[in-house]
Amino acid sequence: MQQELPLRGLGGHRLCFATNNRHKIEEIAQLVEASFEIVSLADIGCHDELPENQDTLEGNAFEKAEYVWTKFGVSCFADDTGLEVMALDGDPGVYTARYAGPQRNADDNMNLLLQNLSGKSDRTARFRTCIALILNGERHLFEGVVKGRIAHERHGAGGFGYDPVFVPEGHIRTFAEMTLEEKGAISHRGEAVRKLVAFLRG
């Protein structure tokens, strides 16, 4: 039985973020308003490994959101983020989280990225986030992009994923050297979430 949560108009309601990645949850919770609460998969009793079998970011985001909606009947949103490096023909792209293998290890991923960029002068890149929202069974998509470059070595201890090697355009610090607030103001995920929140405001 579907237990729909009325979200447009907000007013203290919950919206499931289809992830158990605490870093992502913290980052998005920082960006949304107190008028609604972001809950994780664990909060709705979902401990499944969500499917990601598509060849696009948009496809993966919708696949995850539709899995939660179909199985748990809860309005939710899911994201998929890709780092696209120009000198690597857009790689790692849809394979960003598992660039160095199925272990999804951030250190391994960054090591491989820096190795593959060794000797290349063009280090321009962009992060792209796609957020798929399923609200009352209706599908919506929101996208955010931030351009930047890949540093020659890691800097900073904050953030997650590739943050220690990504320097956003117009800045000299990596995402990992910024606070959550600073990163959220300019990041790909921040842009996509702001579009999501604007939609939920109606």
Tens digit of pLDDT for each residue in 61-88? 999 999 999 999 888 999 999 999 999 9
pLDDT at residue number 12? 45
Active-site residue set? 80
Residue 88 lies in a domain: yes
Mean pLDDT over the full length of the chain:
89
pLDDT at residue number 10? 37
Residue 8 lies in a domain: no
Residue 5 lies in a domain: no
Residue 194 lies in a domain: yes
Query: What pLDDT band is residue 34 in, cutting at 50, 70 and 90?
Result: low
| Span 110-160, pLDDT tens digits | 999 999 999 999 999 999 999 999 988 899 999 999 999 999 999 999 989
pLDDT at residue number 32? 72
- Got the DSSP string for 97-152? GGTT-TT--HHHHHHHHHHHHTT-S--EEEEEEEEEEEETTEEEEEEEEEEEEE-S
pLDDT at residue number 22? 81
pLDDT at residue number 38? 82
Residue 1 lies in a domain: no
Mean pLDDT for 26-34 is 73
**How many domains does the structure of the chain reveal?**
1
Residue 98 lies in a domain: yes
Question: Which residue range is the domain that position 20 belongs to?
Answer: 13-201
Residue 132 lies in a domain: yes
The CATH number linked to 130 is: 3.90.950.10
| Residue 57 CB contacts under 8 Å (≥ 6 apart), including other chains | 80, 81, 82, 93, 94, 128, 129, 130
C-alpha radius of gyration, the chain, whole number: 17
Within 10 angstroms of residue 185's Cβ, the number of other Cβ atoms is 13
Residue 3 lies in a domain: no
